[in-house]
Amino acid sequence: MSREQNKKVWTVSELISWGTNYLHDYKIESPRLSIELLLCEILSCTRLDLYLNYDKPLNPRELKELKSKIKALLCGKPLQFVLGWTQFLNYKIFLCKKVFIPRPETEILVKFALDKYKNRKEEPLSILDIGCGSGAISIALADFFKNSKVLAIDVDKDAIEQTKENAERHSLKNIQLHRMDILKEVPSEKFDLIVSNPPYIPILEYYELPKHVLDEPKLALTDGSDGLTFYKRFAEIFPKILNESGNFFLEVGWNQAEAVAEIFANSGFDVDIKKDFQGIKRIVYSNRFLNT
């Protein structure tokens, strides 16, 4: 905003219109949604509230905060980090620490696993989330399987702290946290269900990612190699930590499904592949005693 614009009395409606055009000019993804969410955060309201109060003026403090958040966006900071939270399924996931931002693909992963295990919802299962990040997967699993224990592990201290905060915000007592490097360590117990969205971006593709994605932790995005490091490790250790009737559900990169499936087939697992809504082979999972 120019000096003259700063002196102007801005209403919600005017800011949505101005912000949409301004963010569009700077090639910010989903500019209208972005300015709406920023205003919702500043005004502590819903998007519907914005349009029910379209002529509400913002005070100088609110305008200053909006300007600061827009500046952060233009500097390449992800919208979710600017807001401090993101939506994952029905859960508000806070992102006070710099951790991996949950994507819609991971929502598909979790919903698919829950659907496959819906007949075991009330059982006391032992569940493992490898690379918990923000805690989104763990929270969805712990809330659905209320009689089960979810072990959330990650090598990153910030991820463990962020998962802990989100678990507390959602009043979930059945999540246990353990900082662990799964490439070097192995959990001491066995599990009925393992769900993971590991770092799978090949290092050569990592350097081509958009600036706002590169603001996320590198270790949560790439294995620093061909993108298959974690799947090879999983194929090595899953026979030791999965119960006989246990299964795993893994998110994979857009062109990795066949390679990952082959890795597990070579370790004796019977696996299947599920596509996402765009037709991309996105999930590799074992299917021992699963309802089809």
pLDDT at 163: 98
Task: Choose among 197, 194, 196, 193: nearest CA to 120.
Answer: 193
Cβ(99)–Cβ(151) below 8 Å: no
For residue 42, count other CB atoms closer than 10 A to its CB: 19
* Class of 3-75 in CATH: mainly alpha
Cα separation, 204 vs 226, in Å, equals 8
Q: Which CATH superfamily is domain 85-286 in?
A: Vaccinia Virus protein VP39 (3.40.50.150)
Q: Which two tokens stand for residue 181?
A: 């490097």
Give the pLDDT of residue 288.
Answer: 81
CATH 3.40.50.150 domain position(s) in the chain: 85-286
Low-confidence ranges of the chain (pLDDT < 50): 292
- Return d(Cα 246, Cα 192) in angstroms, integer: 4
- 79-132: pLDDT as tens digits: 999 999 999 999 999 999 999 999 999 999 999 999 999 999 999 999 999 999
Coil vs helix vs strand at 280: coil
Task: Give span(s): CATH 1.10.8, the chain.
Answer: 3-75
